[in-house]
């Protein structure tokens, strides 16, 4: 039913010397062939035939023209499998046993059958017409994990804005930032290679210091994804700046349109097992279901518009003509953490199989080392009517390995307070314990290292 010769005569029949039978859907192959065989060696445009057929042609043409605006998918074309005798041969299983692992452009990718349902997950970032059934996603994730673990790699999902770079609309550039608009040669060295002006998007982008080295090192340990809440064209442009050779991300760029839930990022569109994914993002709220995989990054505010957006009244890095440190900045720190997590995960000394290990456990373990052996009491920090254990700072301190308590006792090591005049604060000074501002806990969280307590003093209360 599908030899070239028959297809050829099919086409010829369609072109001109058609009888009205052919105006019906080409799915009706049997009728088609019948008509074809009737009008014997027809093909070539016979002018007499043309004159006779002209009217029916005009009718058909009109009908065709009516059909086209009907919708994007031309109904009469679809998949040419209306043929009665269907045997696809050894290459693909019969349609009734095919598990339909996924759909490409409305056709099952294994048997070619037309499928229009919306089940499964859409992977529009790989190709706009691709959907995969849930079973297939599970199967692919398993298979891919084995491959990746064999290469000793894990998955890393990276956010763009405020994590790897900072963008600003050209319209929002302040007067003090005006020097950024100048000639490239006039810019200081560190900006020459990391500041980009994208006129067609009316934007300026500054890459975070150390980002290229970070990506290069991380690519040896992780298969990387970009996952941004920005739109696809923006995401692709940023990927070009970060990854000009297209080796780090290669069709693993997920944008806002690919999220299955509004305002939430999810690992359902990532083809990797959740137990092997580490996420780097500056916003915790969007990763509602995957907080355990998340490493929270300190936000990168280079442009004034970024500072303003988050309500900071201070001058931005660009206005101060300064930048985050390359060697001590957030990316350098987080790279060390990632390397630590990687080596702990692939530790030879462990008894369990690689597939049974969970990177979330490793994250918890590493986090708990930051403030271990610390016992923390809060003063004038937690609201009085609020159960203390639910407070963010309390939970953060516990995640970092500290023990939290409401009451003072000799084993307490740190008193966290905003006011040096409280009873607990004075007790701390008296007993030679550490008295620190709450930001000490937050900084330790971002830097994954216990911060020097002397950097976070608590101010003395003003005398009335």
Partner 1 sequence: MFFHIVLERNMQLHPRHFGRDLRDKLVAKLMKDVEGTCSGRHGFIVAITGIESVGKGLIRDGTGFVTFPVKYQCVVFRPFKGEILEAVVTMVNKMGFFAEAGPVQIFVSNHLIPDDMEFQSGDMPNYTTSDGSVKIQKESEVRLKIIGTRVDATEIFCIGTIKDDFLGVISDPGATS
Task: Identify residues 140-159 at the interface with partner 1 (CB under 8 A).
Answer: 140, 143-144, 147-148, 151
CA torsion, ordered 259, 149, 331, 350, to nearest 10 deg: 120
| Smallest separation, CB 280 to partner 1 (Å) | 20
Q: Is residue 124 within the footprint of partner 1 (CB under 8 A)?
A: no
Instruction: Please tell me the distance from the alpha carbon of residue 444 to that of residue 370, in angstroms, as a whole number.
Output: 7
Among 48, 65, 171, 464, binds partner 1 (CB under 8 A): 65
Instruction: Please tell me the distance from the alpha carbon of residue 319 to that of residue 174, in angstroms, as a whole number.
Output: 9
| Smallest separation, CB 11 to partner 1 (Å) | 5
Measured from the CB atom, is 101 or 421 closer to partner 1? 101
| Smallest separation, CB 26 to partner 1 (Å) | 6
Instruction: Please tell me the distance from the alpha carbon of residue 221 to that of residue 278, in angstroms, as a whole number.
Output: 11
Instruction: Please tell me the distance from the alpha carbon of residue 30 to that of residue 43, in angstroms, as a whole number.
Output: 19
Q: Beta strands 165-169 and 107-108: pairing type? A: unpaired
Measured from the CB atom, is 63 or 321 closer to partner 1? 63
Mention every residue, 6+ apart, whose C-beta is less than 8 A from residue 426. 420
Q: Is residue 4 within the footprint of partner 1 (CB under 8 A)?
A: yes
Q: Is residue 429 within the footprint of partner 1 (CB under 8 A)?
A: no
Q: How many other β-carbons are positioned within 10 Å of the β-carbon of residue 143?
A: 11
Instruction: Please tell me the distance from the alpha carbon of residue 85 to that of residue 94, in angstroms, as a whole number.
Output: 12
Task: Identify residues 77-116 at the interface with partner 1 (CB under 8 A).
Answer: 77-81, 88-92, 101-102, 104-114
Q: Is residue 15 within the footprint of partner 1 (CB under 8 A)?
A: yes
Please write down the long-range contacts of 36-42, taking CB distance under 8 Å and 24 or more positions apart.
36/9, 36/10, 39/13, 42/12, 42/13, 42/17
Q: Is residue 72 within the footprint of partner 1 (CB under 8 A)?
A: yes
Among 177, 223, 237, 442, binds partner 1 (CB under 8 A): 223
Task: Identify residues 273-292 at the interface with partner 1 (CB under 8 A).
Answer: none
Q: Is residue 258 within the footprint of partner 1 (CB under 8 A)?
A: no
Measured from the CB atom, is 62 or 395 closer to partner 1? 62
Among 199, 251, 313, 385, binds partner 1 (CB under 8 A): 251
Instruction: Please tell me the distance from the alpha carbon of residue 297 to that of residue 282, in angstroms, as a whole number.
Output: 5
Q: Is residue 52 within the footprint of partner 1 (CB under 8 A)?
A: no
Q: Is residue 8 within the footprint of partner 1 (CB under 8 A)?
A: yes
Instruction: Please tell me the distance from the alpha carbon of residue 208 to that of residue 210, in angstroms, as a whole number.
Output: 6
Instruction: Please tell me the distance from the alpha carbon of residue 197 to that of residue 183, in angstroms, as a whole number.
Output: 11
First and final C-alpha spacing in the chain: 97
| Smallest separation, CB 10 to partner 1 (Å) | 9
| DSSP for residue 13 | H
Q: Is residue 335 within the footprint of partner 1 (CB under 8 A)?
A: no
Measured from the CB atom, is 98 or 195 closer to partner 1? 98
Look at residues 293, 291, 312, 288 and name the one whose alpha carbon lies nearest to residue 302: 312
| Smallest separation, CB 6 to partner 1 (Å) | 9
| Smallest separation, CB 328 to partner 1 (Å) | 31
Q: Is residue 26 within the footprint of partner 1 (CB under 8 A)?
A: yes
Please write down the long-range contacts of 138-143, taking CB distance under 8 Å and 24 or more positions apart.
139/101, 140/271, 141/271, 141/272, 141/273, 142/273
Measured from the CB atom, is 75 or 178 closer to partner 1? 75
| Smallest separation, CB 143 to partner 1 (Å) | 8
Q: Is residue 176 within the footprint of partner 1 (CB under 8 A)?
A: no
Instruction: Please tell me the distance from the alpha carbon of residue 264 to that of residue 283, in angstroms, as a whole number.
Output: 11
Q: Is residue 250 within the footprint of partner 1 (CB under 8 A)?
A: yes
Q: Which residues pair with 376 in a beta bridge?
A: 404, 414
- Interface ranges with partner 1 (CB under 8 A): 1-4, 7-8, 11-12, 14-16, 26, 45, 50, 57-58, 61-62, 64-65, 68, 72-81, 88-92, 101-102, 104-114, 123, 126-127, 129-130, 132, 140, 143-144, 147-148, 151, 223, 245, 247, 250-251, 271
């Amino acid at each position: 039913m599908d030899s070239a010769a028959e297809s050829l005569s099919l086409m010829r029949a369609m072109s001109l010397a058609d009888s009205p039978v052919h105006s019906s859907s080409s799915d009706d192959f049997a009728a088609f062939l019948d008509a074809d065989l009737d009008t014997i060696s027809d093909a070539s445009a016979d002018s007499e035939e043309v004159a006779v057929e002209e009217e029916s042609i005009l009718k058909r043409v009109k009908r065709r023209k009516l059909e086209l605006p009907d919708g994007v998918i031309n109904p009469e074309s679809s998949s040419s499998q209306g043929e009665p005798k269907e045997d696809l041969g050894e290459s693909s299983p019969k349609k009734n046993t095919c598990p339909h692992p996924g759909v490409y452009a409305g056709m099952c990718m294994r048997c070619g059958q037309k499928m229009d349902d919306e089940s499964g997950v859409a992977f529009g970032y790989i190709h706009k017409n691709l959907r995969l059934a849930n079973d297939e996603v599970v199967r692919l994730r398993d298979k891919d994990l084995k491959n990746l673990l064999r290469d000793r790699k894990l998955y890393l999902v990276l956010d763009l804005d405020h994590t790897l770079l900072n963008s600003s609309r050209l319209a929002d550039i302040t007067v003090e930032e005006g020097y950024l608009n100048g000639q490239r040669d006039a810019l200081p060295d560190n900006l020459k290679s990391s500041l980009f002006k994208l006129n067609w998007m009316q934007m300026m982008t500054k890459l975070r210091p150390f980002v290229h080295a970070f990506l290069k090192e991380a690519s040896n340990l992780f298969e990387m994804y970009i996952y941004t809440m920005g739109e696809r064209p923006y995401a692709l442009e940023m990927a070009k700046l970060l990854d000009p050779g297209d080796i780090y991300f290669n069709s693993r760029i997920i944008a806002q349109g690919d999220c299955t839930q509004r305002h939430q990022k999810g690992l359902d569109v990532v083809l990797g097992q959740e137990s092997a994914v580490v996420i780097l993002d500056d916003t915790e709220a969007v990763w509602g279901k995957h907080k355990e995989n998340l490493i929270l990054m300190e936000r990168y505010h280079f442009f004034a518009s970024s500072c303003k957006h988050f309500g900071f009244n201070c001058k931005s890095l660009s206005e101060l003509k300064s930048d985050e440190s390359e060697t001590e900045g957030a990316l350098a720190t987080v790279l060390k953490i990632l390397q630590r997590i990687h080596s702990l995960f692939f530790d030879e000394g462990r008894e369990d199989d690689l597939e049974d290990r969970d990177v979330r456990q490793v994250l918890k373990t590493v986090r708990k080392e930051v403030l271990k052996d610390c016992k923390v009491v809060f003063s004038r920090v937690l609201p009085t009517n609020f159960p203390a254990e639910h407070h963010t700072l309390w939970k953060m301190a516990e995640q970092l390995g500290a023990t939290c308590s409401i009451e003072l006792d000799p084993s307490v090591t740190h008193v966290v307070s905003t006011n040096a005049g409280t009873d607990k604060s004075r007790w701390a000074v008296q007993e030679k314990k550490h008295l620190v501002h709450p930001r000490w806990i937050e900084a330790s969280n971002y830097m994954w290292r216990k911060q020097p307590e002397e950097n976070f003093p608590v101010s003395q209360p003003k005398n009335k």
